[in-house]
Amino acid sequence: MQTNELRASELRSRLALALDVDDAVEAQRLAAELAPWFGVAKVGLELFSAAGPRVVQMLIDDGYEVFLDLKLADIPTTVRKAARVLGALGVSYLTMHAFAGPAVLRAGVEGLTEGAELAGLPIPSALAVTVLTSDADAPPHILGKRVAAAVESRCAGVVCAASDVAEAKQLAPRLIAVVPGLRPPGSPADDQARSATPGEALAAGADLLVVGRAVTASKDRKSAASELVSSLTA
Ligand code: C5P
């Protein structure tokens, strides 16, 4: 899809807001403020550790699709059981670390599916995190290995840097590509080693864009979100 063909309403479902805060009230406030631009709320380790499963329900009740970014990585049985619990929460996406290998990813996919089915909910998309966008030293061959693990284990998608999307899609065209580490032109990279602009990520073929500090750390968050969307729809 061409960037300029995107309408703001379509784009909203492809923009995930990283709620990297340690308090449910603050998360809900941020989510409410930025709901006109973001259709997906990403709950990561910090917020889930602070607020637990109730924050997921709260965001669903507020109309968000929830992206639970817990990056699971453990023995297959443990990942299966954790994913089964998380699959019953109503999340739309759950991440696991691809470095854990296909057996672990497969256990996670099965647990997630079972948990959602038992709760009568749609089956969430399992996402395999390929290489952290903060990792500047990952060897080049590793992406292919991790994408292959995602395919083998029937994950719905991968999380990768914008610069890895083309290769990931070539290897596995049916996987959705989720891209974090996004920074508008000229803004600080923070701890992201392989950042890109949101426009570059979309042009590379990203399906879901994860946006955190570029908007949440801005002095004027609404303007930052609005400018981000304008830059992608103009
Ligand atoms: O603030 P910033 O836009 O850098 O936030 C990026 C978010 O995406 C964080 O919540 C981080 O945990 C997550 N993430 C990432 N790189 C990955 C996977 C997830 O930065 N490979």
- Which segment of 5-19, 40-54, 55-69, 150-164 scores lowest on mean pLDDT? 5-19
Q: Is the CB of 224 under 6 A from ligand 1?
A: no
**Is the pLDDT confidence value at 78 over 60?**
yes
Distance CA 38, CA 83 (A): 25
Q: Is 42 a catalytic residue?
A: no
Between CA 23 and CA 93, with CA 58 as vertex, the angle to 5 degrees is 95
In terms of phi and psi (left: phi > 0; alpha: psi -120 to 50; beta: otherwise), the region of 93 is beta
Q: If DSSP codes are grouped into helix, strand and coil, which group holds residue 154?
A: coil
Distance CA 63, CA 40 (A): 9
Q: What is the pLDDT of residue 218?
A: 95
- Which segment of 14-23, 124-133, 142-151, 186-195 scores lowest on mean pLDDT? 186-195
Q: Is the CB of 18 under 6 A from ligand 1?
A: yes
pLDDT band at 6; cut points 50, 70, 90: low
Q: Is the CB of 192 under 6 A from ligand 1?
A: yes
Q: Is the CB of 190 under 6 A from ligand 1?
A: yes
- Which segment of 48-52, 178-182, 192-196, 223-227 scores lowest on mean pLDDT? 192-196
Strand-pair partners of 40: 16, 65
Mind listing the domains of the chain with CATH numbers?
3-233 (3.20.20.70)
pLDDT band at 8; cut points 50, 70, 90: confident
Our mutation pick for probing the ligand 1 site, out of 48, 210, 211, 213, counting the most ligand atoms within 8 A of Cβ, is 210
Catalytic-role residue among 71, 81, 145, 169: 71
Output DSSP code: residue 135.
Answer: -
Neighbours of 225 (CB within 10 A): 23
Q: What is the pLDDT of residue 37?
A: 97
Q: If DSSP codes are grouped into helix, strand and coil, which group holds residue 206?
A: coil
Ligand 1 atom, smallest distance to 211 CA: 3
Q: Is the CB of 198 under 6 A from ligand 1?
A: no
Q: What is the pLDDT of residue 10?
A: 87
Q: If DSSP codes are grouped into helix, strand and coil, which group holds residue 84?
A: helix
Structure tokens at 56: 């997921």
Distance CA 73, CA 98 (A): 8
Our mutation pick for probing the ligand 1 site, out of 19, 127, 133, 195, counting the most ligand atoms within 8 A of Cβ, is 133
